[in-house]
């Protein structure tokens, strides 16, 4: 019972850390992207709908790319583990290797 | 042979209820905010569940080991249960599955999102207690890793909704901090897409997680009867059948539960929907990767609740939340009682008549609950009606397929 509680707490804080980093962090990056996309554009009250700032578009593209890359990496890790592989970060660029 | 066929059919039936019971976990928020049309949402979720069921090929053969002791750690069934063609093991599994389905259907009728995994485990625990006594249940594991009813079911059930709620709450708060004042036309489109993406991830994760359980149960039954001997692999037809069953269930759409999750608990906006699903997807995927077993339902509900807490001024209907928590607490014991009673009835009537009799009881129960649901249907056309109309809204003018 006590053993299990220890293991559970150990797992729980890891999941919480991952969750906050990715589950709350990535939506935040995404939100920054949306904010950037609308940079320079007026609100609903504006009549002429001025074009947003081009630099904002660039920031937005970077933000969305980061989110997409993270999601793609996440899916790869999950799928790979199903096929007896794992993703290694040893050489910085993620590569697929056999599971140890 | 007849009994084996009944077990396979019942297991697929459980997988089907698992599908429609959990559609809301992924899609309730997208449906509530209008990011996806109800029927498009359930179709998308169904396809992703189908894909997900094939994606993870990790052997799920030892699934019952978490709670009961009918297999050894390699996945082989216990020797003493194999006499008489595995009849003893089949009866435990069949009674357990019936317990799981009965509880899934009842909670669906009441529109309560309860955990399908808990229902299955509860059913198995009840049947194992009835058939093998208290020693038939793996309460605590052996102390070397997170295991047993306490480690794999109870503790994760207490912790996972809290974790999901914290993550979703923080995510929601950040999103609103960052995007306040951004022109609606950007925010609305952006977050709709974000929502669809994250909800798709949850569907995929659900397919990889939940379909495995049924595959493991069916393969166990096949091994017990000598129809399959390989402990490393699952027969292809089992994989296909389970994937199709869970996808078909998802496609049917558990509208009653979708309504409670999407409209009842919290009034949801697109940014909240995205935060909730992002939290669910990460928590589910991270924990299944770390071997921390949890219920998709508990995580999804926790996330939706958290997103109501994280948005300043949003309202959480605590009465509904309380009802859900109550249902969670009852799920395991209630399914266990049904599983136990079913085992007892099946055992009394003998090794051939017994399983057939309890299967008939299941069909009768399912039919009754389906008829009850038809009297006040919730479907794609009224699922989003104002919550003030109640859990079951007034019938919409156009009749849809109710589920």
CA distance A57 to A35: 10
Q: Rounded to 5 degrees, what are φ and ψ at B339?
A: -60, -45
The pLDDT assigned to B142 comes to 73
The pLDDT assigned to A82 comes to 66
The pLDDT assigned to B396 comes to 46
Pairing of β A95-98 and β A85-88: antiparallel
For residue B137, the cross-strand partners are B68
B139 domain residue, yes or no: yes
Average pLDDT, chain A: 79
Instruction: Please report residues of A whose CB lies closer than 8 A to that of B285.
Output: 74, 78
CB contact under 8 A, A78 and B208: yes
B388 domain residue, yes or no: no
CA distance A85 to chain B (A): 11
Global pTM exceeds 0.90: no
Q: At what angle do helices B2-33 and B270-289 cross, to 10 degrees?
A: 140
The pLDDT assigned to B395 comes to 54
Domain ranges of chain A: 2-98
Residue keyed to tokens 């009813």: B149
Beta strands in B216-285 (DSSP E): none
Q: Rounded to 5 degrees, what are φ and ψ at B70?
A: -100, -5
B95 domain residue, yes or no: yes
CA distance B147 to A5: 10
CB contact under 8 A, A27 and B171: yes
Taking CA–CA distances from A45, the nearest residue in chain B reads B183
The dihedral through the CA atoms of B318, B321, B323, B329 has a sign that is: negative
Of the pLDDT bands very low, low, confident and very high (cuts 50, 70, 90), residue A41 is low
The pLDDT assigned to B351 comes to 81
Which carries the bigger pLDDT value, residue B252 or residue A50? Answer: B252
Are B29 and B276 in contact by the 8 Å Cβ rule? The answer is yes
B393 domain residue, yes or no: no
Q: Residue B263 belongs to what domain range?
A: 2-383
| H-run or E-run covering A98 | strand A95-98
B300 domain residue, yes or no: yes
CB contact under 8 A, B159 and A8: yes
The pLDDT assigned to B103 comes to 93
**pLDDT values of chain B reduced to their tens digit, one per residue, 403 residues:** 789 999 999 999 999 999 999 998 899 999 999 999 999 999 999 999 999 888 865 656 777 777 888 888 777 888 778 877 788 899 999 999 999 999 999 999 999 999 998 999 999 999 999 999 888 888 877 777 777 888 888 888 888 999 999 999 999 999 999 988 787 778 888 899 999 999 999 998 888 888 888 898 999 999 888 888 888 888 899 999 999 999 999 999 889 999 999 899 998 889 999 999 999 999 988 887 777 777 889 999 999 999 999 998 888 899 999 988 898 899 999 999 999 999 999 999 988 899 899 999 999 999 999 999 888 889 888 888 888 877 777 654 444 444 4
Instruction: Please report residues of B whose CB lies closer than 8 A to that of A7.
Output: 145-146, 151
Probe site for chain B from A9, A16, A27 (most B CB atoms < 10 A):
A27
Q: What is chain B's Cα-based Rg?
A: 21
Of the pLDDT bands very low, low, confident and very high (cuts 50, 70, 90), residue A42 is low
Angle value at C-alpha B349, between B368 and B139, nearest 5 degrees: 80
Q: Please indicate if any CB of chain A lies within 8 Å of the CB of B58.
A: yes
Mean pLDDT of the region A34-54? 67
Give Cα separations from B383 to A38, B19, B121, B257, B260 (angstroms). 33, 18, 30, 9, 9
Interface contacts (A, B; CB < 8 Å) = 152
B308 domain residue, yes or no: yes
Q: Is A85 helix (H, G, I), strand (E, B) or coil?
A: strand
The pLDDT assigned to B397 comes to 42
Q: Rounded to 5 degrees, what are φ and ψ at A29?
A: -60, -40
CA distance A11 to A37: 38
CA distance A51 to A37: 10
CB contact under 8 A, B174 and A28: yes
B392 domain residue, yes or no: no
User: What ipTM does this complex have?
Assistant: 0.83
For residue B77, the cross-strand partners are B71
| Total tally of structural domains belonging to chain B | 1
Q: Where are the alpha helices (DSSP H) in B34-115?
A: 38-55, 83-109
Q: Which of B24, B310, B136, B180 is nearest to A23 (CA)?
A: B310
Smallest Cβ–Cβ distance between A77 and the set B181, B185, B289 belongs to B289
B394 domain residue, yes or no: no
Which carries the bigger pLDDT value, residue A83 or residue B179? Answer: B179
């Amino acid at each position: 019972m006590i053993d299990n509680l220890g293991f559970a707490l150990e797992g729980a804080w890891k999941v919480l850390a991952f969750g906050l980093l990715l589950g709350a962090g990535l939506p935040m990056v995404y939100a920054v992207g949306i904010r950037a996309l609308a940079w320079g554009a007026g609100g609903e009250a504006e009549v002429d709908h001025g074009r947003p700032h081009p630099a904002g578009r660039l920031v937005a593209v970077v933000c969305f790319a980061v989110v997409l890359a993270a999601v793609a990496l996440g899916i790869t890790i999950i799928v790979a583990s199903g096929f007896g592989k794992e993703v290694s970060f040893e050489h910085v660029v993620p590569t697929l290797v056999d599971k140890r | 042979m007849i009994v084996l066929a009944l077990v396979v059919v019942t297991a697929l039936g459980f997988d089907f209820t698992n599908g429609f019971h959990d559609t809301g976990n992924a899609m309730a928020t997208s449906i509530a905010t209008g990011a996806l049309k109800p029927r498009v949402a359930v179709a998308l979720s169904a396809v992703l569940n189908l894909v997900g069921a094939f994606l993870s090929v990790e052997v799920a053969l030892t699934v019952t080991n978490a709670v009961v002791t009918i297999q050894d750690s390699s996945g082989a069934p216990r020797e003493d249960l194999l006499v008489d063609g595995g009849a003893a093991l089949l009866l435990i599994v069949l009674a357990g599955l019936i317990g799981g389905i009965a509880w899934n259907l009842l909670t669906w009728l009441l529109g309560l999102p309860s955990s399908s995994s808990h229902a299955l485990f509860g059913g198995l625990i009840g049947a194992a207690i009835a058939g093998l006594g208290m020693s038939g249940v793996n309460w605590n594991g052996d102390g070397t890793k997170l295991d047993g009813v306490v480690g794999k079911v109870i503790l994760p059930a207490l912790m996972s909704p809290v974790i999901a709620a914290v993550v979703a709450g923080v995510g929601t708060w950040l999103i609103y901090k960052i995007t306040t004042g951004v022109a609606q036309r950007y925010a609305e489109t952006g977050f709709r897409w974000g929502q669809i993406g994250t909800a798709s991830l949850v569907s995929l994760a659900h397919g990889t997680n939940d379909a495995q359980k049924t595959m493991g149960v069916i393969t166990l039954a096949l091994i017990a009867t000598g129809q399959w001997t390989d402990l490393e692999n699952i027969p292809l037809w089992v994989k296909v059948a389970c994937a199709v069953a869970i996808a078909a269930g998802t496609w049917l759409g558990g509208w009653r539960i979708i309504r409670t999750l999407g409209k009842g608990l919290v009034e949801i906006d697109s940014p909240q929907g995205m935060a909730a699903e992002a939290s669910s997807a990460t928590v589910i995927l991270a924990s299944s990767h770390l071997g921390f077993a949890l219920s998709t339902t508990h995580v999804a509900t926790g996330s939706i609740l958290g997103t109501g807490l994280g948005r300043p001024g949003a309202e959480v209907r605590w009465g509904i939340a309380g009802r859900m928590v109550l249902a969670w607490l009852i799920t395991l014991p209630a399914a266990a009682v049904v599983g136990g009673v079913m085992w007892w009835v099946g055992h009394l009537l003998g090794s051939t008549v017994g399983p057939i009799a309890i299967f008939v009881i299941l069909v009768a129960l399912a039919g009754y609950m389906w008829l009850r649901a038809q009297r006040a249907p919730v479907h794609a056309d009224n699922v989003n009606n104002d919550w003030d109309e109640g859990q079951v809204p007034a019938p919409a003018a156009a009749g849809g397929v109710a589920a």
